[in-house]
A and B are shown apart, each in its own frame.
Chain A
Amino acid sequence: MREYFKNIWQTVKTLLTGMGITIKHLFKIRKGNVTLQYPEEKWPRPDRNIGFEPANYNLIRSKLHVDIEDCIGCRKCERACPVQCIKIDTIKVPKGTDLGSTSNGTLKRLLVPRFDIDMTECMYCNLCVYPCPEDCIYMTGGPNSEKQPLDYEYAQYDRDKLIYKFATLTKKEIKKYTTPPKQQELI
């Protein structure tokens, strides 16, 4: 009999303790609000790694972006990708063809007619970003946010639209670069 009432008393007591905590949180709701009405409000982006030595730290995992003008076609990112979501084709050009240079000053030697990134396959591991000698593949936002603003809500209606094609070379341009210079003069 005594045990029976003791159990009831304990249940009521511990329930009230729990209730007390919940009520405390109910009135604290304005101060410690943790829920944001997402599409209207967004989380502030944290200041990332400001003032640290390696300035090329890219501290966000979002959409991959390629500055195709700086790409030299070395395929290091393609090899680093564990899921093979980067697909690159390169074409050798005849000797003496001037393809220009990257913003780091490296001479370009290969044409890049295809640079596709399938963002449906990408697993945001960031492994492709580090080996790039020209820092031209990166995730949007981060220290490169001046060049490319943060984009993590890139929803599409069609899955094919998530395959991003970065190569800008037209067929005409490819033909122009691949014909040897002597023939070019003849034309």
Chain B
Amino acid sequence: MGLIKADEMTLNIGPQHPSTHGVLRLKVKTDGEIVSEITPVIGYLHRCFEKHCEYLTYEQVIPFTDRCDYIAAMNNNFGYVVAVEKMMDIQVPERVEYIRIIMAELNRIASHLLALGTFGLDVGAYTPFLYMFRDRERILDLFEITCGARLLYNYMWIGGVSHDLPVGFVEATYRFLDEFEKKSEEYHNILSYNKIFIERTADVGVLPKDVAIDYGVTGPNLRGSGVKWDLRKDEPYSIYEKFKFEVPVGQGLMGSVGDSWDRYWVRAEEMKESVKIVRQALDKMPRKGDVHEALPKRVRPPQGSIYFRTESPRGDLGYYIISDGKDKPVRVKMRSPAFTALSALSEIASGWMLSDVLVVLGSLDIVLGEIDR
């Protein structure tokens, strides 16, 4: 293969392509079917998040954070809201903390279900995708009865949440968790341990530990490479230190540590841990309490700045907020985990076949809304 040097061809994948998970364009240099260089071109979904924030009050920014990572909007709300609360030194009621954790973890399950389903779709498994969407639908229904919206919630407010839990939410969630635990075994049988799936993903796109850290890759992608780093455990925010859960890391069960299968597997295991957290939170949650108790009359954080990060389903989601003491932030900068994951794509997917590039891209679980903002 090395002797025959054919002409290199530049190939465009996207911006409109079902395997790019959004409007992403990949400039791919190919030699036959072997890819030698990948240049992601981003910005097709740029909506001026940071510029918008200069003109909006602190409360009005929350719906825009929804729209950054639209798959896991609750987690995006969470990071922003806690950052502003830290600035203003607000203590939120215990019930609110528990509700937030429940919502964030349910949204994490929903996000991972979508990630795994579409990843299966990328390698040609259609059935698991349908099953996972069916279960994700149940979570969205839970969100719908709570706050009325299915995808873009605007649920978490500075100092509270917009609505209390509806009657029957706790029971419905318990029921969902019971059924979901059985189903997650089903996913493993139908997809994870399927030989064709393993052949397509194991040893493909290996992301070594040091490269992952160099690129600033976080979240399940980093844990897939065998680094045990989870902000919920290592830098607990909100009330995460009260819960018992494991941090799954990639062990290279099917190939080498840090391959696409490991990243997939970490997400599948993380869903089980999220189920554990939701269960504990439902058990311990105070049953009564006003969720609007700590809402500030005026959201005007004192002069200064804050950088606060949380663990979103995609990794470290950081918010850098500068305040000048008025009702509008001077600047809100978002550190997006999907952006760093995408930047590592060229490093790990070069040298593979074109169809493997899409597998690696799918395993990184990027959301273009968050990358372009």
Interface, chain A (partner B; CB < 8 A): 7, 10-11, 13-15, 17-18, 21-22, 25, 34, 46-54, 57-61, 80, 82, 123-127, 139, 142
Counting CB contacts under 8 A, is B50 at the interface? no
User: How far is B61's CA from A11's CA once the two chains are assembled, in angstroms?
Assistant: 51
- In the complex, identify which listed stretch (B6-14, B158-166, B212-220) lies at the interface while the others stay far away: B158-166
A58 to B166, CA, bound (A): 12
Known: A59-B148, A82-B63. A14 touches B195 (CB 8 A): yes
Report yes or no: B148 in contact with A15, Cβ–Cβ below 8 A: no
What's the least CB distance linking B61 to chain A, in Å? 8
Q: How far is the CB of B286 from chain A (nearest CB, A)?
A: 15
Q: Given the known inter-chain contacts A46-B145, A59-B148, please indicate yes or no for A18 contacting B189, CB distance below 8 A.
A: yes
**A21-B190, A22-B127, A127-B154 given as contacts; is B196 within 8 A of A82 (CB)?**
no
In whole angstroms, what is the CA distance A15 to B189 when docked?
A: 9
Q: In the complex, which residues of chain B have a beta carbon less than 8 angstroms from the beta carbon of A127? A: 59-60, 63, 154
Min CB distance B196 to A, Å, is 7
Would you call B235 an interface residue if the criterion is a C-beta within 8 Å of the partner chain's C-beta atoms? no
Query: Are B148 and A126 closer than 8 Å at their CB atoms?
Result: yes
Tell me, yes or no, whether B98 is within 8 Å of chain A by CB.
no
- State the CA gap A175–B163 with chains docked (Å): 43
| Contact partner, B167, options A7, A50, A58, A80, Cβ 8 Å | A50
Chain A positions within 8 Å of B233 at CB level: none
- B189 near A59 (CB under 8 angstroms)? no
Given contacts A18-B189, A59-B166, contact A82 B145 (CB under 8 A): no
Smallest CB–CB gap between A66 and chain B, Å?
18
B64 on the A face (CB < 8 A): yes
Contact B167–A21 (Cβ < 8 Å)? no
Question: Which of B63, B164, B166 is within 8 Å of A54, CB to CB?
Answer: B164
Contact A34 B137 (CB under 8 A): yes
A52 x B167 contact (CB < 8 A): yes
- Nearest CB of chain B from residue A87's CB, rounded to whole Å: 17
A54 neighbours in B (Cβ, 8 Å): 164, 292
Q: How close is B173's CB to chain A, nearest CB, in angstroms?
A: 14
Tell me if A125 and B167 are in contact (CB < 8 A).
no
User: Quick check: is B86 within 8 A (CB to CB) of the other chain?
Assistant: no
Given known pairs A48-B145, A125-B154, the reply for A18 and B127 (CB within 8 Å) is yes
What distance in Å separates the Cβ of A92 from its nearest Cβ neighbour in chain B?
27
Cα A25 to Cα B141 in complex, Å, equals 22
- Interface: B88 (CB within 8 A): no
A123: chain B residues at CB < 8 Å are 63, 67, 152
Q: Which residues of B contact A51 (CB under 8 A)?
A: 167
Alpha-carbon separation in the docked complex, A47 to B144 (Å): 11
A-B pairs, top 3 by smallest CB distance, nearest first, are A125-B63, A82-B60, A11-B195
Instruction: Give a binary string over B108-134; 1 marks a CB under 8 Å from any A CB, 0 the rest.
Output: 000000000000000000010001001
List the A side residues contacting B62 at CB < 8 Å. 125
Docked-complex contact B166 and A82, CB < 8 angstroms: no
CB neighbours of A17 from chain B (8 A): 189-190, 193-194
